[in-house]
């Protein structure tokens, strides 16, 4: 093991992997390996390592850089986030192994995680852009959310363990990125915002809307103060690797003790970003309606699975012994938080620094602006109306009632 941190490169990562005991069952010590840096994330180095003789024998090495990869070294970041990610993956693997990648090794000096290469899966965002439907996704993610959020909350953990866990997952710098990029910058003119010029009138109207500022402040306060459960913290469709049968959640480096609605809202908001993108990605009305039905049914289903599994965990353990009626009130608040925070997650992807390929990848300029205009309207509607939403069906109804302003 190396004594000092250095950023890996395709050659050094091969030498690095070869000396790890943890992968001896996959690669033999003298075997030829290949390394490819896939680098499509905003933050880290990611290498795929394969045995030349048998590319199916493969691992991924993910290493933290001391700065934001997307922006450069003028935006320093703590490499410590790899430790948070490794610990969160350990907990998720214990609670929900079927939806968590296998970790072979965590190196606390190199801030590198060696893990399963999900070679038979694709990034869900890409599949959704291509109009692919994943029939088990909603059940899988509903269950993942229920287990990872339920079992790490006060509803299950004893009072001391819960507080110790909050301490282990203090993640200030990555939380600050979210506080800035999700809950602050989209709502005011800043240098880092980037949006399509055609939707500028809509963006300016949103930024001038006092009600938007008040509702986003409520969401930001919850994000900053409500240590409800160990949340993934960045559960968008780029953090989900998927195929027809399997769903695996990756990348919990933003994990911390925060509001459950932030994770649930991230998934819902990202499905609705896809919904908005198919305003123009899919022109055929029958295909468009079919795919959008899949997306909205998935939102309803994932919430229902979450609700059922979460309540079952709560009923079984009930560490805080709350009175009757409290559970229904709690579940309603989770739904409303998910709507409000999901709305913010949509808005940041249209207006803010880090966009998503669902929208920014639409080649035709007018098509892109039209889809982004719709995403902005859905995000704003969910944010403004979150406290009036009483059912998941009502949330979906509000979203599908929106139309693009532009186009
Ligand atoms: C500047 S990029 C930061 C974003 O990338 C991550 O995936 C998070 O969503 C974060 O907000
Ligand atoms: Mg990520």
- Ligand 1: nearest atom to the Cα of 254: 8
pLDDT of amino acid 3: 79
Same domain, 171 and 290: yes
pLDDT of amino acid 176: 97
Q: Is residue 14 part of a domain?
A: no
Q: Is residue 4 part of a domain?
A: no
List the CATH number of the domain containing 231: 3.90.1200.10
List the CATH number of the domain containing 51: 3.30.200.20
Task: Pinpoint the alpha helices (H) of 96-169.
Answer: 124-129, 137-150, 159-168
pLDDT of amino acid 196: 97
pLDDT of amino acid 71: 83
Same domain, 234 and 194: yes
Same domain, 62 and 194: no
Q: Ligand 1: which of 39, 40, 41, 42 to mutate, most ligand atoms within 8 Å of CB?
A: 42
Same domain, 133 and 105: no
Same domain, 205 and 285: yes
Q: Look up residue 220 and give its two tokens.
A: 């930001």
Same domain, 254 and 313: yes
How many domains are contained in the chain?
Answer: 2
Domain that residue 247 falls in:
122-400
Average pLDDT of the residues in 265-291: 98
pLDDT of amino acid 317: 84
In whole angstroms, give the CA distance from residue 131 to residue 118: 21
Closest Cα to atom 1 of ligand 1: 354
Last residue of a domain, one of 98, 116, 134: 116
- Answer yes or no: is the C-beta of 77 below 6 A from any ligand 1 atom: no
Same domain, 34 and 149: no
Same domain, 94 and 143: no
Last residue of a domain, one of 100, 116, 132: 116
- Answer yes or no: is the C-beta of 24 below 6 A from any ligand 1 atom: no
pLDDT of amino acid 1: 52
Q: Is residue 190 part of a domain?
A: yes
| Full-model pTM | 0.97
Same domain, 145 and 287: yes
Q: Ligand 1: which of 69, 85, 174, 177 to mutate, most ligand atoms within 8 Å of CB?
A: 177
pLDDT exceeds cutoff 80 at 2: no
Closest-CA residue to 98 (of 58, 62, 139, 127): 139
Same domain, 107 and 157: no
- Answer yes or no: is the C-beta of 194 below 6 A from any ligand 1 atom: no
pLDDT of amino acid 318: 74
pLDDT tens readout for residues 209-248: 999 999 999 999 999 999 999 999 999 999 999 999 999 9
pLDDT tens readout for residues 141-178: 999 999 999 999 999 999 999 999 999 999 999 999 99
In whole angstroms, give the CA distance from residue 286 to residue 179: 40
pLDDT of amino acid 299: 99
pLDDT tens readout for residues 30-67: 899 999 999 777 889 999 999 999 999 999 999 999 99
In whole angstroms, give the CA distance from residue 339 to residue 390: 10
Q: Is residue 1 part of a domain?
A: no
CA of 218 to the centre of ligand 1 (A): 21
| Residue whose token pair is 């805080």 | 320
Per-chain mean pLDDT for the chain? 96
The proportion of the chain whose per-residue pLDDT surpasses 90, expressed as a percent, equals: 92
Q: Look up residue 198 and give its two tokens.
A: 């055609």
Last residue of a domain, one of 83, 116, 149: 116
Average pLDDT of the residues in 65-77: 89
- Answer yes or no: is the C-beta of 68 below 6 A from any ligand 1 atom: yes
pLDDT exceeds cutoff 80 at 87: yes
pLDDT tens readout for residues 181-214: 999 999 999 999 999 999 999 999 999 999 999 9
Q: Which of 18-22, 106-110, 319-323 has the lowest mean pLDDT?
A: 319-323
pLDDT of amino acid 380: 98
Q: Is residue 341 part of a domain?
A: yes
Same domain, 380 and 298: yes
* Helix (H) / strand (E) containing 211: helix 210-225
Same domain, 45 and 78: yes
Average pLDDT of the residues in 292-321: 94
CA of 81 to the centre of ligand 1 (A): 13
């Amino acid at each position: 093991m190396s004594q000092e941190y250095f950023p890996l490169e395709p050659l050094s990562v091969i030498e690095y992997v070869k000396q790890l005991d943890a992968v001896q069952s996959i690669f033999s010590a003298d075997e030829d390996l290949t390394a490819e840096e896939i680098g499509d994330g905003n933050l880290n180095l990611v290498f795929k390592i394969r045995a030349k003789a048998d590319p199916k024998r493969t691992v991924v090495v993910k290493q933290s850089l001391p700065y934001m990869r997307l922006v450069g070294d003028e935006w320093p970041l703590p490499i410590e986030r790899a430790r948070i990610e490794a610990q969160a993956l350990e907990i998720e693997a214990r609670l929900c192994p079927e939806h968590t990648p296998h970790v072979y090794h965590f190196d606390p000096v190199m801030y590198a995680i060696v893990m399963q290469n999900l070679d038979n899966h694709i990034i869900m965002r890409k599949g959704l852009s291509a109009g692919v439907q994943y029939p088990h996704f909603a059940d899988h993610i509903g269950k993942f959310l229920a287990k990872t959020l339920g079992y790490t909350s006060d509803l299950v953990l004893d009072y001391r363990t819960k507080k110790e866990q909050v301490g282990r997952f203090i993640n200030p710098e990555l939380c600050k990125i979210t506080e800035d990029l999700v809950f602050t910058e989209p709502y005011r003119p800043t240098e880092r915002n980037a949006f399509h010029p055609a939707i500028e009138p809509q963006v300016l109207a949103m930024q001038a809307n006092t009600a938007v500022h008040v509702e986003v402040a409520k969401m930001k306060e919850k994000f900053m103060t409500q240590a409800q459960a160990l949340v993934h913290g960045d559960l968008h469709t780029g953090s989900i690797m998927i195929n027809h049968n399997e769903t695996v959640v990756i990348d919990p480096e933003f994990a911390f003790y925060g509001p459950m609605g932030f994770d649930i809202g991230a998934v819902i908001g990202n499905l609705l970003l896809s919904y908005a993108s198919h305003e123009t990605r899919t022109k055929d009305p029958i295909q468009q309606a079919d795919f959008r039905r899949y997306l909205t049914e998935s939102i309803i289903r994932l919430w229902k699975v979450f609700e059922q599994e979460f309540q079952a965990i709560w009923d079984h353990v009930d560490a805080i012994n709350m009175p009757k009626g409290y559970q229904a009130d709690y579940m309603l608040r989770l739904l409303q938080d998910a709507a409000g925070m999901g709305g913010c997650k949509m808005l940041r992807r249209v207006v803010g620094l880090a966009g998503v390929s669902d929208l920014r990848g639409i080649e035709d300029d007018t098509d892109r602006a039209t889809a982004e205009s719709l995403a902005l309207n859905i995000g704003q509607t969910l944010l403004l109306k979150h406290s009036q939403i009483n059912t998941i069906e009502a949330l979906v109804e509000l979203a599908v009632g929106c139309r693009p302003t532009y186009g």
